[in-house]
Structure 1
């Protein structure tokens, strides 16, 4: 096996890193699923800016499902699994989801800045069609940057510790091709979005400060809602920046000190990478804090998984008896033995399947 794909860490560190990623993956999937289920339950009531939060949940769960299993397998294997092909795949997915996340947060900041402080009837309004087009543009933008290394501009490569792949930061300075790609990528996909996030939320804070000084008594409710939504967006953005800044710092150190890679302990390069992956957990739980209905959805999802797996393995007659005993529970089994909270999990007579009847707590 290529030495670049061999872990530079001890088997013990690899094991704990893999266990950490398992926990992060599970929390990310369940947390973001709760956000998506909550959004799906009230799809007709979603405001246009809320689609950005939904998009953020999609990117987080996409990263958890498409990337973390490969990282976990590599950590427990004490070497990267799959060689060059899986490394390209991992780098591609990482580029798409990370750029989509930061661009979504930047657009979210702009939207909140334009909306904050404006009266609900006369202020700036964003239609769902407009936001949907912007979200599509974000995905195309991220996909384009992810394809550049495959087309010859820049490249993907293994991380210094050997258990992950990303942009080959060490290629900076070795050729004009790598230097121009990394510098352009850093400016357009890191620095500018971060500046937009920082300055828009400073602007929001100033607008709220001025608005609350002159707010009328009949606008208190609107002001509280505005403050709550803005705090949620600020918290999500700050969490993302805090999670990714250490990784960016180490990556830029690698850019300008490619000859000194051996001087940095591989464990030091591993920590920022693991910390950055935790960003997929922050977003849904911040959202859950500000939207209690989503928290109930998360608990209901947990009960649903247990309940469906339990009743799915029971004979129809036993399920019928069980249903009479748990009529008040979240997983109701009706007289014909069909679990209507588990869509398609238990076949109904005649080949039909039960319909989902989840409700927000």
Structure 2
């Protein structure tokens, strides 16, 4: 097996042959000679381009996520339950930038994997774990906003139990799907040109294929459907209040729609190419996904560590005001009277005994940092069998 790999390597230039030299005899046995030679086809210029991209992603991802944690620790006004969930996303992205990206960056600068088979398994496990934590946290965030919008009572801004449970479940759920390859259900190994490691997408066994199908469904498709459903319901709720204040509602609707579209597009841009590449490598003929093609989806997936803080944090009014205050060494100014992004203000006027249950509420107002709709006064001729108004503030981007 080793002689076969060396003969394949002899047909390549010396810079590319170094990629095979990074693996010892046992590791070469674990990677067939034909596949290893395919992983070494990326040119030195290609490795340099990949290294530059990874350096950019690692640097800006590190800066963005560290800044989020600094703001959260420094400003007490940011310490609300939903912001804790945003911090969890930043922590998982920060761990990718510190425990994953540096190794693939160093490997790309040398054109070969540098820390052996054990390091490859660690890299594949750690990056998969932190990436799935980030994905599931985005789904939990969307569900929290949806459930906050639908609850008929005021949320307790000091109650961290539900959010803490949600964060714990994201990590347990991610471990549930990233530990199996360490125990025989699929495996972690070299990916693309051999400078990164992930789940072995190219294995054609039933063991590996079943794991990849489950991973694709439960860690990519399900979170995406949750996000689309929850934000879709929120947009629908905003549309229902257009009769109360058309101009204000239209402005809010456009703003929420813009944010939702950006969230969904960025989610798909970062993760859909990687998912498609994995499926093509799993079910397509051997060699269908070339090393050059496979490295692009991998880089796009890593860009989520840069994009997530920008979309979910710096587009957040609370965080943005604190960021401005941090740069100016000033005290952050207050926005509206709503104190946290998970605060809910609900006023319900129930109808008479003959009113239908669904008519007890006149839907909700999803406020984007503005005061809730003023409740109309009950006049002497008000029809009590119809709902008068309900104002529910479920912040998308903070107060």
Residue 28 (str. 1) matches residue 91 (str. 2):
no
Aligned to 1:293: 321
Give the conservation status (yes or no) of the 8 Å contact 1:105–1:237.
no
Residue 169 (str. 1) matches residue 201 (str. 2):
yes
Aligned to 1:155: 187
Residue 182 (str. 1) matches residue 215 (str. 2):
no
1:249 to 273, 276, 282: 276
Q: CA deviation at 1:24?
A: 1.0
Give the conservation status (yes or no) of the 8 Å contact 2:192–2:290.
no
Aligned to 2:161: 129
Q: Secondary structure of the residue that 1:170 maps to in structure 2?
A: coil
Structure number with the higher helix fraction is 1
Q: Distance in 1 between matches of 2:63 and 2:113?
A: 27
Aligned to 1:260: 286
RMSD of aligned Cα (Å): 2.9
Aligned to 1:213: 243
Higher deviation after alignment, 69-78 or 274-283: 274-283
What are the equivalent positions in structure 2 for 1:51-130 lying under 5 Å apart?
A: 51-116=84-149, 122-123=153-154, 127-130=159-162
Q: Secondary structure of the residue that 2:189 maps to in structure 1?
A: strand
Aligned to 2:227: 197
Q: Distance in 2 between matches of 1:103 and 1:187?
A: 12
Q: CA deviation at 1:240?
A: 2.7
Q: Distance in 2 between matches of 1:109 and 1:247?
A: 22
- In structure 1, the gaps of 5 or more residues are 302-361
CA offsets 1:297-336 (integer angstroms, 9 cap, x no match): 77579xxxxxxxxxxxxxxxxxxxxxxxxxxxxxxxxxxx
Q: CA deviation at 1:144?
A: 2.6
CA offsets 1:119-166 (integer angstroms, 9 cap, x no match): 7xx356673121011101111221232211111111112113221111
Q: Distance in 2 between matches of 1:213 and 1:70?
A: 56
Q: Distance in 2 between matches of 1:215 and 1:48?
A: 30
1:271 to 271, 276, 296: 296
Q: CA deviation at 1:235?
A: 3.7
Give the conservation status (yes or no) of the 8 Å contact 2:235–2:256.
no
CA offsets 1:23-72 (integer angstroms, 9 cap, x no match): 11111111111111111123465221221111111111110111010011
Q: Distance in 1 between matches of 2:261 and 2:76?
A: 23
Give the conservation status (yes or no) of the 8 Å contact 1:34–1:297.
no
Give the conservation status (yes or no) of the 8 Å contact 2:280–2:289.
no
1:14 to 47, 53, 58: 47
Q: Secondary structure of the residue that 2:175 maps to in structure 1?
A: helix
Q: Distance in 2 between matches of 1:237 and 1:33?
A: 24
Aligned to 1:340: none
Q: CA deviation at 1:295?
A: 3.7
Q: Distance in 2 between matches of 1:210 and 1:144?
A: 40
Q: How does the TM-score come out when normalised to structure 2?
A: 0.66
Distance change (3 Å), C-alpha of 1:132 and 1:205: same
Between structure 1 and structure 2, the one with the greater Rg is 2
Q: Distance in 2 between matches of 1:298 and 1:234?
A: 29
Q: CA deviation at 1:176?
A: 2.7
Q: Secondary structure of the residue that 2:195 maps to in structure 1?
A: coil
Residue 239 (str. 1) matches residue 284 (str. 2):
no
- In structure 2, the gaps of 5 or more residues are 1-20, 22-27, 330-399
> For this pair of structures, how many residues does the alignment match?
291
Aligned to 1:313: none
Aligned to 1:353: none
Q: CA deviation at 1:244?
A: 1.1
Give the conservation status (yes or no) of the 8 Å contact 1:117–1:207.
no
Q: Secondary structure of the residue that 1:80 maps to in structure 2?
A: coil
